Structure 1
């Protein structure tokens, strides 16, 4: 998973979660158009996703 995130310019950080859980934090870059829609609260769903 870390390699896939890195392949698109992102990062993945695994670690302990709260209690007995496990946390995986992933940060992925957005292109400008997607970021603008996200800021405006507009979801972008692709067919079959």
Structure 2
């Protein structure tokens, strides 16, 4: 969890040429669902830690 939190507010991208759904497809045009989910989890954890 500390590694995820250490990314701060940076954009997380799963850079891979063989997956355009979970990753960026290698050219930045994929959906990057893994990166998006990780950022959502990070934001939720940060919100909980502020309480």
Which category of TM-score, normalised to the shorter sequence, fits these structures? Answer: under 0.3
> Which structure dedicates a bigger proportion of its chain to strand?
1
Q: What TM-score results when the alignment is normalised by the length of structure 2?
A: 0.22
Pick the structure with greater CA Rg.
Answer: 1
Q: What TM-score results when the alignment is normalised by the length of structure 1?
A: 0.22
